[in-house]
């Protein structure tokens, strides 16, 4: 992160703007809206800027820039067409430890202006760290369309309640939960609709009944196969509301970074024969944290209910009557097949698909191989890389043709995804040569023959 986003309070603060063209006028408009005590230094000035200064009490000094103009300033912006003057302003401001921005010259800036979505007092800022202002503006336009104008009214309404809510709910955890339920529920909807009287009635009812806030809640969230863009909106929203996040090794780092910055993160990942935290302890930890009043996200790669042991975790939660939600995620079988250009079903090749775990609870591959012999069925093996030689051998022993196509999808949906293809007869030797690493998914069936024709992700 090259820049730390902050919000500056500029009301009645002395700010210097060097330059008075169209770009400088846009900067002046923002600075004056923020209530700054703005001084513009320039030999000439636009009519619009002159009117802005007159209406907001700013000052124009009709002269060329001098170093003494910096004295007593809190913030400096250089927006002249002369690169030498802009560089001079930057160097002199930095020598005095005054934050300085030079328009269209990131290398001369100690701060930059973000693109802003203004729902005062709610402000959303988007920055590309100076690398692509056009991209930041495009994102601003999208957010501008997504956020109703009434969000400013909702932010102002919430601001007026802070002292009252703090007195009614002294503990931070329950209070945060109250705010989320209030802003995202009926009270918030009434404020957005302009019906504050009704909102106040509902608010009074919520504050009279805060007992339910003492117990936390657990969210079993499917993080999907790795690409953050494949998470659901609900998964992202709950992740950002969590007090504690329990995550495993299959959760990509960018997804974990979507959690609230002050949330506790607890690694409970497991590898084959190496369980950092035994499953029973994970189950109990979810209960203990919820009983402390925490909102807990159990973040799982793929889908919680597809070889994710989510069922075991919610059994204990239900036994202790702890509220929970399960948020499905895109399971690795679907995602790996899609990103590898392998349709799991196809009218000409496969009319069914079966998801199979590559090893059982005791680490074996003790499967009923005789049921896997239909040529019109695709088999998808999870966690089967170690047992792949056994899988290939047993499928052939029980009737599958030796030339049945097989694909291994390594690190599915990520930039380093790799697809390795072969057959039941050749794949074990190919794996020995190529040395793929977990997580790797195995797809067996005639649909794999479509990979070269339909693949689109990465290089093959």
Active site members: 248, 270
Polymer length in residues for the chain = 460
- Of 275, 244, 250, 288, whose CA–CA distance to 262 is shortest? 244
- Is 412 labelled as part of a ligand binding site? yes
Q: Compute and round to an integer the Cα radius of gyration of the chain.
A: 30
- CA distance readout (Å), 331 to 81, 193, 293: 55, 39, 30
Residue 383, marked binder: yes
End-to-end CA distance of the chain: 33
Q: Where are the beta strands (DSSP E) in 62-205?
A: 75-78, 100-102, 115-119, 122-126
Q: Please check if 303 is assigned to a binding site.
A: yes
> Would the annotation count 90 as a binding residue?
no
Per the omega criterion (within 30 degrees of 0), is the bond before 170 cis?
Answer: no
CA distance 148 to 143: 10
Do 411 and 418 touch, CB atoms closer than 8 A?
yes
304 among annotated binding-site residues? no
Q: Please give the sequence-ordered ranges of beta strands (E in DSSP) within 227-351, or none if there are none.
A: 244-247, 264-267, 270-271, 274-275, 295-300, 324-327
> Does residue 325 come out as left (phi exceeding 0), alpha (psi in the -120 to 50 range) or beta?
beta
Residue 239 burial class via C-beta count within 10 angstroms: exposed 0-12, middle 13-18, buried 19 and up: buried
306 appears as a binding residue in the annotation: yes
Per the annotation, does 428 bind a ligand?
A: no
* 378 beta partners: 353
Give the per-residue SS3 of 308-338. Answer: CCHHHHHHHHHHCCCCEEEECCCCHHHHHHH
| Sheet of strand 217-222: strand arrangement | 264-267, 244-247, 295-300, 217-222, 324-327
- Burial level of 122, CB count in 10 A (0-12/13-18/19+)? middle
**Do the annotations mark residue 389 as ligand-binding?**
no
413 labeled part of a ligand binding site = no
Q: What residues are paired with 295 via a beta bridge?
A: 217
* Residue 201, marked binder: no
Q: Which residues contact 32 (CB under 8 A, 6 or more apart)?
A: 38, 52, 53, 56, 58
164 Cβ contact partners less than 8 Å away, ≥ 6 residues apart: 207
Is residue 417 within 8 A of residue 312, CB to CB? The reply is no
Tell me: is residue 5 an annotated ligand-binding position.
Answer: no
The response to whether 425 counts as a known ligand-binding position is: no
Whether the upstream peptide bond of residue 439 has omega within 30° of 0, thus cis, is yes
Task: Supply the angle between the helices 151-159 and 172-184 in degrees, to the nearest 10.
Answer: 150
Do the annotations mark residue 223 as ligand-binding?
no
Residue list, annotated binding site for NAD(+): 22-23, 43-44
Residue list, annotated binding site for S-adenosyl-L-methionine: 225, 301-303, 306, 331-332, 383, 412
Residue list, annotated binding site: 22-23, 43-44, 225, 301-303, 306, 331-332, 383, 412
């Amino acid at each position: 992160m090259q820049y730390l986003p902050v919000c500056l309070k500029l009301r009645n603060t002395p700010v210097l703007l060097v330059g008075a063209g169209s770009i400088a006028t846009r900067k002046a408009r923002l600075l004056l809206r923020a209530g700054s005590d703005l001084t513009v230094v320039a030999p000439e000035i636009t009519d619009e800027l002159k009117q802005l200064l007159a209406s907001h009490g700013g000052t124009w000094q009709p002269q060329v820039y001098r170093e003494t103009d910096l004295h007593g300033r809190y913030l400096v912006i250089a927006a002249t067409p002369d690169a030498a003057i802009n560089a001079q302003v930057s160097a002199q401001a930095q020598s005095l430890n005054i934050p300085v921005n030079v328009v269209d010259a990131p290398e001369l800036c100690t701060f930059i202006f973000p693109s802003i979505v203004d729902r005062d007092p709610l402000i959303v800022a988007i920055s590309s760290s100076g690398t692509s202002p056009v991209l930041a503006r495009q994102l601003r336009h999208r957010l501008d369309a997504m956020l109703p104008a009434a969000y400013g009214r909702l932010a102002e309404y919430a601001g007026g309640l802070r002292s009252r809510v703090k007195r009614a709910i002294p503990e931070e955890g329950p209070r945060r939960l109250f705010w989320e339920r209030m802003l995202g529920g009926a009270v918030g909807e009434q404020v957005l609709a302009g019906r504050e009287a009704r909102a106040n009635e509902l608010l009074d009812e919520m504050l009279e009944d805060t007992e339910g806030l003492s117990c936390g809640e657990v969210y079993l969230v499917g993080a999907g196969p790795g690409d953050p863009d494949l998470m659901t909106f609900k998964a992202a929203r709950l992740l950002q509301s969590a007090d504690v996040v329990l995550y495993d090794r299959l959760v990509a780092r960018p997804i974990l970074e979507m959690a609230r910055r002050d949330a506790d993160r607890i690694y409970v990942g497991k590898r084959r024969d190496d369980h950092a935290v035994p499953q029973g302890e994970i189950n109990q930890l979810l209960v203990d944290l919820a009983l402390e009043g925490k909102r807990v996200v159990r973040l799982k790669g793929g889908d919680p209910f597809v070889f994710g042991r989510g069922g075991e975790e919610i059994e204990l939660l239900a036994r202790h009557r702890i509220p929970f939600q399960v948020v499905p995620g895109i399971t690795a079988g679907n995602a790996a097949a899609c990103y590898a250009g392998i349709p799991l079903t196809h009218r000409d090749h496969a009319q069914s698909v079966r998801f199979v775990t590559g090893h059982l609870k005791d680490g074996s591959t003790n499967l009923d191989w005789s049921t896997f012999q239909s040529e019109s069925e695709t088999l998808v093996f999870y966690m089967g890389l170690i047992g792949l030689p056994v899988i290939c051998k047993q499928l052939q022993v029980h009737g599958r043709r030796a030339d049945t196509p097989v694909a291994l999808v390594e690190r599915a949906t990520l930039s380093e995804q790799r697809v390795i293809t072969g057959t039941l007869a050749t794949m074990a030797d190919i794996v020995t040569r190529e040395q793929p690493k977990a997580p790797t998914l195995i797809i067996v069936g005639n649909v794999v023959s479509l990979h070269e024709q339909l693949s689109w992700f990465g290089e093959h």
